[in-house]
């Protein structure tokens, strides 16, 4: 039995929905970051699935760029979260309106 493109799209939609729920409902900055990463991975699954079933490699190259951008985004976000924790001793995004003193 072969896995069709709709299975990949369903998996990506479920992952994206879980990511959106994580971003909207979490108050912890690490939880929000994990939700954003889930949404980026769902986009990557879509890109690779479309590339696999259309026959081209263009979408797979875009997926590699998305992975690189996600790694850079995670590094910058973790640096901001560490600064937030150093200043306020918590990572609650509701209390962190600005990073000013």
User: What are the tens digits of pLDDT across the range 54-97?
Assistant: 888 888 898 999 999 999 999 998 898 888 788 777 777 777 66
Helix (H, G, I), strand (E, B) or coil at 18: helix
Q: What is the CATH number of domain 5-88?
A: 1.10.287.3510
Q: What per-residue confidence (pLDDT) applies to 97?
A: 66
Q: What per-residue confidence (pLDDT) applies to 86?
A: 83
Residue that has been written with the tokens 């590094």 in this structure: 75
Nearest to 14 by CA among 50, 48, 46: 46
CA distance 46 to 30: 25
Mean pLDDT estimate for the chain:
86
Q: What per-residue confidence (pLDDT) applies to 45?
A: 92
Write the DSSP assignment of 7-28 as a string of letters: HHHHHHHHHHHHHHHHHHH--B
Tokens of 74: 């995670």
CA distance 76 to 99: 14
Average pLDDT (21-35) is 89
């Amino acid at each position: 039995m072969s896995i069709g493109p709709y299975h990949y799209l369903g998996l990506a939609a479920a992952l994206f929905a879980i990511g959106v729920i994580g971003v909207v409902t979490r108050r912890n900055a690490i939880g929000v970051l994990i939700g954003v990463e889930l949404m980026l991975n769902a986009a990557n699954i879509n890109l690779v699935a479309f590339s696999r079933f259309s026959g081209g490699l263009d979408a797979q190259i875009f997926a590699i760029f998305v992975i690189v951008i996600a790694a850079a985004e995670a590094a910058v976000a973790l640096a901001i979260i560490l600064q937030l924790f150093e200043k306020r001793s918590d990572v609650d995004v509701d209390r962190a309106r600005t990073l000013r003193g």
